[in-house]
């Protein structure tokens, strides 16, 4: 404390100008005893920077302001006499709260009333060092990016669109100037006019703070160009970066692939058109075969009904007369003739049923609704499955071809019910909407497995779909295990 008081007294007795320069200096200044290393005085800027109060100064030593691991080097430096002003470099200083800062140190030995002391000026360069380190990292990243562009370039440019620096294996090809000579030249100098017309808006966008990119052709090659803004230290955009990657080879491959795809699409379109024509021909042939088959079935049904039916009817009549004539004769011949008549009667019934199945006359005579009602009744008698029908009461007029198609679809659906569904009931619904004729056949059976709905061997389902498709319609089948099946046919009414 005595030494501190002595120094303060000496400082008060010193030149007023020197005292003002020490106390009012905006940079941190302190003095320490070169022998004991005790702090003799600190100006207000130093106390603010390091966080100490005036009454704490006499207890501080030179080492208290440094990080512990730097103290040995610090002592070696402090023990060397330096009568002239010395730039001591940048040291890590420690504030009272433990914060570490980087301080650039200037020191000079002075004599204060015979005491050898040192005057120290400290400039906080923490932010500058961080900025320099960030700049070094940025430059490293820049060089790393540039050196890893095998066929392109990367460059920084200022707000006058002049190169600051350019690098990369393809600078000469991309920029039109060697990278060693690029600095200071305008970007436009080495580029064709048509290339610059595409590149300039990208560079302007970067200087406006907006990244931009585009494919830019230049001298027979194609580059993918990407520009981005580079912020300045005090805000705003100080410069821009442009990266150009040669994608000529890739574009060539892409063009070849595109040509191959276009050729493949053309060939697929041609083949598709051929298949569509073939499909339409098959549809026409299928419709023709259906028509021919229906005509043939109608002819056969008529012949069975007329010729075989008449023959059996005549045979039944003759057997009846024969039984009358043989009545009373021994051996029961009259009863045998009567039994034969019964067989002929059953055969005649079967013939009529077969004839109706081939082409029910009621379909042509009384229409679709009557034919469906007759078929539902026959189906119930033959299978024991209850079958009901719901149809419009008013006349249901459709063309003869559509009439037979709907009847055959219903017939096929009920055949599937009888064969596979294990159902107890079936329901037929015939309806007419504003745009469509709708036929539904629903059962309460076991349902159709999903695989069977798309199986090419399910010829009955395929047949129903083909019949509907021939009239521009569609068949939808809804089924779930144990929940029955719904076959829904929808045909446009234009038919």
Question: Per-residue DSSP letters for 232-278?
Answer: -TTSSEEEEEEEEEE-HHHHHHHHHHHHHHHHHHHHHHHHHHHHHHH
Contact indicator for 423, 385 with CB cutoff of 8 Å: yes
pLDDT confidence of residue 40: 86
- Name residue, tokens 């009272």: 96
Q: For residue 297, with 0-12 CB atoms within 10 Å meaning exposed, 13-18 middle and 19 or more buried, which class applies?
A: middle
- Clarify whether residues 477 and 425 are in a common domain: yes
Q: For residue 355, with 0-12 CB atoms within 10 Å meaning exposed, 13-18 middle and 19 or more buried, which class applies?
A: buried
In a domain, 251, yes or no: no
End residue of a domain, out of 124, 143, 176:
124
pLDDT in tens, 338-378: 788 788 778 877 777 776 667 677 777 788 888 899 889 98
- Contacts of residue 346, defined as CB under 8 A and 6 or more positions apart, other chains included, come to none
In a domain, 77, yes or no: yes
CA 95 to chain centre: 55
pLDDT confidence of residue 14: 55
Range with top average pLDDT, 139-143, 454-458, 476-480: 476-480
Taken as a whole, the chain contains a residue count of 495
Instruction: Specify the higher pLDDT residue, 482 or 12.
Output: 482
Q: How many CB atoms lie within 10 A of CB 245?
A: 19
In a domain, 206, yes or no: yes
Q: Are strands 163-167 and 152-157 parallel, antiparallel or unpaired?
A: antiparallel
pLDDT confidence of residue 495: 45
- Clarify whether residues 173 and 242 are in a common domain: yes
How many domains are there within the chain? 4
Contact indicator for 41, 8 with CB cutoff of 8 Å: yes
Contact indicator for 433, 396 with CB cutoff of 8 Å: no
- Clarify whether residues 373 and 348 are in a common domain: no
Closest CA to 436 of 465, 462, 406: 406
Contact indicator for 223, 245 with CB cutoff of 8 Å: yes
- Name residue, tokens 């890893």: 148
- Clarify whether residues 120 and 39 are in a common domain: yes
Q: Are strands 386-390 and 425-432 parallel, antiparallel or unpaired?
A: parallel
- Clarify whether residues 135 and 210 are in a common domain: yes
- Contacts of residue 423, defined as CB under 8 A and 6 or more positions apart, other chains included, come to 385, 417, 443, 444, 445, 446, 484
Q: How many CB atoms lie within 10 A of CB 305?
A: 18
- Token representation of residue 37: 């290393």
In a domain, 252, yes or no: no
- Clarify whether residues 380 and 308 are in a common domain: no
Element (H, E) at 165: strand 163-167
pLDDT at 228 > cutoff 60: yes
Element (H, E) at 407: helix 400-416
Phi, psi at 490, each rounded to 5°: -125, 120
End residue of a domain, out of 93, 109, 124:
124
Q: What is the mean pLDDT of residues 164-187?
A: 85
pLDDT confidence of residue 494: 66
- Clarify whether residues 100 and 164 are in a common domain: no
Regarding pTM above 0.95, the answer is: no
Q: What is the mean pLDDT of residues 292-307?
A: 66
- Clarify whether residues 212 and 303 are in a common domain: no
As a whole number, the mean pLDDT across the chain is 81
Say whether 459 sits in a helix, a strand or coil.
helix
- Token representation of residue 63: 């080492």
Closest CA to 410 of 387, 383, 386, 432: 387
pLDDT confidence of residue 1: 42
pLDDT confidence of residue 454: 67
Distance from C-alpha of 174 to C-alpha of 225, rounded to nearest angstrom: 10
- Clarify whether residues 322 and 428 are in a common domain: no
- The residue segments making up the domain with residue 399 are 367-492
- Clarify whether residues 442 and 461 are in a common domain: yes
- Clarify whether residues 53 and 164 are in a common domain: no
Per-residue pLDDT band for 4 (boundaries 50, 70, 90) equals very low
| Beta strand extents in 385-472 (DSSP E only) | 386-390, 425-432, 436-443
End residue of a domain, out of 308, 325, 359:
359
């Amino acid at each position: 404390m005595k030494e501190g008081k002595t120094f303060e007294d000496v400082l008060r007795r010193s030149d007023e100008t020197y005292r003002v320069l020490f106390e009012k200096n905006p940079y941190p200044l302190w003095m320490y005893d070169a022998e004991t290393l005790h702090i003799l005085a600190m100006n207000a800027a130093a106390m603010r920077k390091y966080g100490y109060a005036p009454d704490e100064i006499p207890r501080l030593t030179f080492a208290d302001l440094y990080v512990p691991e730097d103290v040995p080097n610090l002592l070696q430096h402090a023990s060397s006499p330096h009568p002239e002003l010395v730039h001591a470099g940048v040291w890590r200083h420690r504030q009272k709260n433990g914060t570490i800062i980087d301080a650039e140190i200037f020191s000079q030995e002075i004599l204060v009333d015979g005491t050898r002391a040192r005057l120290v000026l400290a400039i906080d360069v923490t932010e500058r060092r961080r900025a320099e380190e960030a700049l070094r990292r940025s430059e490293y990243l820049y060089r790393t990016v540039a050196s890893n562009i095998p066929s392109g370039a990367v460059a920084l440019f200022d707000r006058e669109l002049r190169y600051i620096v350019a690098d990369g294996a393809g600078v000469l090809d991309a920029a039109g100037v060697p990278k060693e000579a690029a600095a200071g030249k305008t970007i436009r100098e080495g580029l064709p006019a048509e290339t610059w017309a595409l590149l300039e808006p990208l560079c302007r966008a970067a200087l406006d703070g907006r990244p931009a990119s585009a494919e830019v052709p230049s001298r027979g090659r194609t580059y993918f160009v990407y520009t981005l803004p580079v912020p300045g230290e005090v805000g705003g955009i100080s410069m821009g970066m442009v990266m150009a990657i040669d994608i000529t080879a890739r574009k060539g491959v892409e063009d070849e692939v595109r040509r191959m795809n276009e050729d493949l699409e053309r060939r697929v379109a041609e083949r598709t058109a051929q298949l569509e024509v073939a499909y339409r021909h098959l549809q026409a042939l299928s419709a023709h075969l259906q028509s021919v088959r229906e005509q043939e079935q109608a002819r056969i049904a008529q012949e069975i009904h007329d010729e075989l039916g008449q023959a059996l009817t005549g045979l039944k009549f003759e057997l009846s007369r024969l039984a009358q004539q043989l009545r009373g004769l021994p051996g029961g011949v009259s009863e045998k003739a009567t039994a034969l008549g019964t067989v002929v009667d059953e055969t005649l019934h079967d013939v009529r049923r077969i004839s109706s199945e081939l082409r029910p006359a009621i379909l042509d005579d009384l229409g679709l609704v009557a034919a469906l009602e007759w078929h539902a009744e026959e189906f119930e008698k033959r299978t024991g499955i209850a079958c009901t029908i719901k149809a419009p009461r008013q006349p249901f007029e459709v063309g003869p071809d559509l009439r037979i198609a709907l009847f055959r679809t219903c017939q096929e659906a009920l055949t599937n019910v009888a064969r596979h569904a294990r159902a107890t009931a079936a329901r037929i619904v015939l309806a007419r909407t504003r745009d469509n004729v709708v036929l539904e056949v629903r059962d309460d059976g076991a349902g159709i497995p999903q695989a069977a709905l798309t199986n090419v061997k399910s010829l009955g389902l395929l047949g129903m779909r083909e019949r509907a498709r021939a009239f521009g319609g569609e068949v939808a089948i809804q089924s779930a295990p144990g929940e029955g099946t719904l076959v829904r046919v929808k045909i446009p009414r234009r038919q």
